[in-house]
Structure 1
Amino acid sequence: MVHHRRGRGRLCPCLRARDGGASRPAQLTAAFSAPACIGDTGWVNQAADSLSLRRAARVFFDFGSPRIIVAVLAAAIAGRVAIGGWSWWDLLGPAVVLAAQPFTEWLIHVFVLHFRPRTVGRVRVDPLVARKHRAHHADPRELSLVFIPLPALAGLVAGVAAICLAGLPLERGLTTLVTALMVLCTYEWTHYLIHSNYRPRRALFRYVWRAHRNHHFRNEHYWFGVTVHVADHLLGTFPERGDVPVSPTAKTLGVRQAA
C-alpha cells in the first residue's frame, strides 16, 4: 500500500513547469488555484488545497500594498512612541475609528467599489478602484486583484494621515493614525486570506469567510462587509443564503465590458 502524505508547501514539478518564467506573485496564484498532485517524492502536494497561516503571510508580503501599509504603520508607531505624552484622550480617536469601521467598509464597498461607469457631459467617469473591483469579481482567484490598487492606496493613506494629523493634536493624531493603519492592514489581510486557499479553522473567520464568498458567488447585492458585518446586519444586507437568488451579474456587477 502506498501512503500519500501532505506536502510541505513546495510546488509540484507540474506547477513549476506550468509557471515557467512568471513573476513570483503569479506563480503563487497559480499554485493556489491548481489542483493537488503527487510530486516526484511521492508526497501529495496540498499547497493548492490548504494553506498554513505562515505560508499565507509570506505570500501576503509579496504584494506591494501590505508592505507599504506596514512601513507607514511602523513609522507612525515610532513617531508616537518618540513623542510620548500619553493620556486617556489617546483612547478617543481609536474608539471613533473602530466604531466607524463597519459603516466605512460598507459605504466604500457599496458606493465606491460597486460604482457603475457613467458619462457626465463628454467625460466617462469610471474610477480605477471600481474598474479593479469589477476585475476582482470577474476573477476572484487572481490574488493581485485582491489588494487595494497602489495609486488608490497612496491617496487613501495620505488622506487619512492628513485628517488625523491636521485635525487633532499631534500625539492624539498619531495614535488615531496608528489605529486606522492597523484597521487597514487587517482589512487587506482578511480579504486576502478569504481569497487564498487558507481554510477557516475558527468560527469567527468561518463567519466572515462564508459571508464574503456569498457576496462573490451568490449575490453581489448583499454581504458588503469584509472584516466585520455589523453594518450588513443593521442595514438589511446580511440575509440567509437561501433567501436570495443566485445573481447572474455577480461576476460583472451589471457592467458590460467595452468592446
Structure 2
Amino acid sequence: MYKRWRTDGRKFDLGRMTMRQLVSAYASHPAVHLYLAGAVVAGLVAAHGAPAGPAAVWTPLRGVVATVLIYPLAWYLIHRFILHSQFLYRSPLTAALWKRIHFDHHQDPYRMDVLFGAPVTTIPTILVITLPLGWLIGPGLSGAAAAAATGLLVTCIYEFCHCIQHLNFKPRSRLLRRMKELHLAHHFHDEDGNYGITSFVVDRLFGTYYGSAKARRRSPHVFNLGYDLQKSRRFPWVARLSGGPPRDRPLRPAERS
C-alpha cells in the first residue's frame, strides 16, 4: 500500500482526482497512519497519566483546548516565517529541506505527494509545540500527552482540508468554498498573505489577509517563492535537486503526466 506513494507519488494529481479518489488516497497515506497511531498512543498515555478525581477529565481537556486554540497561530508562524523564508535555499545544508517542505508544493500545487509534510519534519514540530504547552496548561504528563494527541489529529484535519483546497472540486459548504478561495489566492495570486488553512483570523490580526485578487497586484513570485532564475544561479542547490530552473507558472494539464 505504501509502495505506490514512494514510486508513483506524482500520479496523485488533485487537479484530476474526484472526491472519492481523494478519500481513498488520503486513507492510504503513510503520514496519516503515523499521525493516527501517534494520537492513539498519546491518548492512552494521557488517560493513564491523568490524576485521580475530577482532574482526570480536566487535566487532559485543558491540553486539548490549548492545542486547538494555539494551532492556527503556530501554523501561521511556521508557514510565513519558515516555509516562505528566504534563507533555507541559500545553504546546501538546508536547500533540500526547503525544497521538500514547501517549494515543491508551490511549484506544482496539485501534487498530493508533496502537499503532505514529511513526517520526519512534521512530527517533531508538532511535539515541540504541543508537549510543553500541554505540560504547562494541563499541567503534567497527562496534559502534555493530550495536547500531542490533539496536535496529531488536528494535523490530519488540516491536511485533508488542504487537499480539498487543491482538488478539482467545488465544496457545497459556503465556509469550505471561502477557505478554498482564500488559499488558492495564496497559491495563484499573491503568496505573501492568506497563510491560514482552515482559519484566517491570524492573517487578519497580522495584516496579511486579503479577501480577493482585486485587493492586490499579482505577485511575480507566487510560484517560485522568490527563488527565481537569478537566485537559482547564485544558490543552485534547489535547482539542481529539481532537475531544472524554477518555474514562474503552474504546469499545464498536458505537462502534469
The bucket for the TM-score relative to the shorter chain is: 0.7 to 0.9
Residue in structure 2 matched with residue 254 of structure 1 by the alignment: 226
State the shift of 1:230 in Å: 0.7
Residue in structure 2 matched with residue 223 of structure 1 by the alignment: 194
Question: How far apart, CA to CA, are the structure 2 residues paired with 1:27 and 1:101?
Answer: 31
Whether 2:211 is the aligned partner of 1:245: answer no
Distance 1:236 1:125, change over 3 A: farther
Residue in structure 2 matched with residue 98 of structure 1 by the alignment: 68
Give 4+ residue runs of structure 1 displaced > 6 Å after superposition: none
Whether 2:15 is the aligned partner of 1:33: answer yes
Whether 2:171 is the aligned partner of 1:200: answer yes
Question: How far apart, CA to CA, are the structure 1 residues paired with 2:131 and 2:210?
Answer: 37
Question: How far apart, CA to CA, are the structure 1 residues paired with 2:123 and 2:59?
Answer: 28
State the shift of 1:150 in Å: 2.8
State the shift of 1:247 in Å: 1.2
Larger relative contact order (CA 8 Å, sep ≥ 6): 2
Greater fraction helix: 2
- Encode CA deviations 1:200-259: one digit per residue, 9 max, x unaligned: 111121121111100000100111101211101122211231110111110001113326
SS across alignment from 2:28: coil
State the shift of 1:119 in Å: 8.8
Question: How far apart, CA to CA, are the structure 2 residues paired with 1:220 and 1:101?
Answer: 21
| AA matched with 1:65 | A
The alignment's C-alpha RMSD in Å is: 2.7
Aligned counterpart in structure 2 of residue 68 of structure 1, from 25, 34, 37: 34
Residue in structure 1 matched with residue 121 of structure 2 by the alignment: 152
| AA matched with 1:109 | H
Decide which moves more: 162-171 or 234-243: 162-171
Structure 2 spans left out of the alignment, 5+ residues: 1-5, 240-257
| AA matched with 1:74 | V
Distance 1:81 1:94, change over 3 A: closer
Residue in structure 2 matched with residue 235 of structure 1 by the alignment: 206
Q: Any conservation in 1 of the 2:73–2:202 contact (CA below 8 Å)?
A: yes
Identity of aligned residues (%): 22
Question: How far apart, CA to CA, are the structure 2 residues paired with 1:212 and 1:119?
Answer: 24
| AA matched with 2:82 | V
Give the TM-score normalised by the residue count of structure 2.
Answer: 0.74
SS across alignment from 1:87: helix
Question: How far apart, CA to CA, are the structure 2 residues paired with 1:157 and 1:99?
Answer: 14
Q: Any conservation in 2 of the 1:90–1:175 contact (CA below 8 Å)?
A: yes
Give the TM-score normalised by the residue count of structure 1.
Answer: 0.73
For 1:137-148, what aligned pairs fall within 5 Å after superposition? 137-148=106-117
State the shift of 1:149 in Å: 1.6
State the shift of 1:128 in Å: 4.6
Matched residues, number: 218
Q: Any conservation in 2 of the 1:147–1:188 contact (CA below 8 Å)?
A: yes
Structure 1 spans left out of the alignment, 5+ residues: 1-21, 35-47
Whether 2:31 is the aligned partner of 1:59: answer no
Whether 2:99 is the aligned partner of 1:117: answer no
Question: How far apart, CA to CA, are the structure 2 residues paired with 1:255 and 1:170?
Answer: 43
State the shift of 1:100 in Å: 1.6
State the shift of 1:82 in Å: 4.1
